[in-house]
Chains A and B, each alone.
Chain A
Amino acid sequence: MTAYTATVTVRLKHGVLDPEAETTKQALERLGFELEALRSADRFEIDLEAADADAAAERAEEMAERLLANPTIHDYEVEVGAAAT
Chain B
Amino acid sequence: MTVAVIRFGGSNCDRDAVAALEHLGVDAEIVWHEDGLPEETDGVVVPGGFSYGDYLRAGAMAARAPMMAEVRDAAEAGVPVLGVCNGAQIGAESGLVPGAFTTNRSARFQCEHVHLRVETADTPFTRAFDEGEVLSLPIAHGEGRFEITDDALADLESDDRVLFRYCDADGNVTNAANPNGSKGNVAGVLGERGTVAVLMPHPERATLPDVSGPNGAGTDGAGVLAAFDQ
Query: Interface residues, chain A, CB within 8 Å of chain B?
Result: 16-20, 22-23, 66-68, 70, 72-73
Asked if B60 and A16 sit within 8 Å, CB to CB, the answer is no
Contact of B147 among A20, A23, A68, A72 (CB under 8 A): A72
Task: Please count how many residues in chain B sit with their CB below 8 Å of the partner chain's CB atoms.
Answer: 20
Q: Is the CB of A73 within 8 A of B56?
A: no
Q: Which stretch in B98-106, B125-133, B218-226 binds the other chain?
A: B98-106
Residues in A whose Cβ lies below 8 Å from that of B98: 72
Q: Which of A19, A67, A72 contacts B107 (CB 8 A)?
A: A19
Q: Check B100–A19 contact: CB distance below 8 A.
A: no
B residues contacting A by CB (< 8 A) are 56-57, 60, 64, 92-93, 98-100, 102-107, 145, 147-149, 181
Q: Identify B57's interface contact among A19, A20, A22, A70, CB under 8 A.
A: A70
Partner of A72, one of B56, B103, B149, B181: B149
* Contacts known (A17-B181, A67-B60); A72 close to B148, Cβ less than 8 A: yes
| Bound form: Cα–Cα A23–B104 in Å | 12
- The CA-CA distance from A73 to B218 in the complex, in Å, is 35
8 Å CB contact of A73 from B100, B107, B181: B100
Q: How many whole Å from A71's CB to the nearest CB in chain B?
A: 9
Residues of A within 8 A of B104 (CB): 19
Provide the bound-state CA to CA distance between A67 and B61, in Å. Answer: 8
- CA A23 to CA B93, docked complex, whole Å: 25
Interface-centre pick from B100, B104, B107, B181 (highest chain A CB count, 10 A): B107
Q: A19-B103, A20-B107, A72-B100 are in contact. List 6 more A-B contacts (CB 8 A).
A: A17-B181, A19-B104, A19-B105, A23-B107, A70-B100, A73-B147
> Which are the 5 A-B pairs with shortest beta-carbon distances?
A19-B107, A72-B100, A23-B107, A19-B103, A73-B100
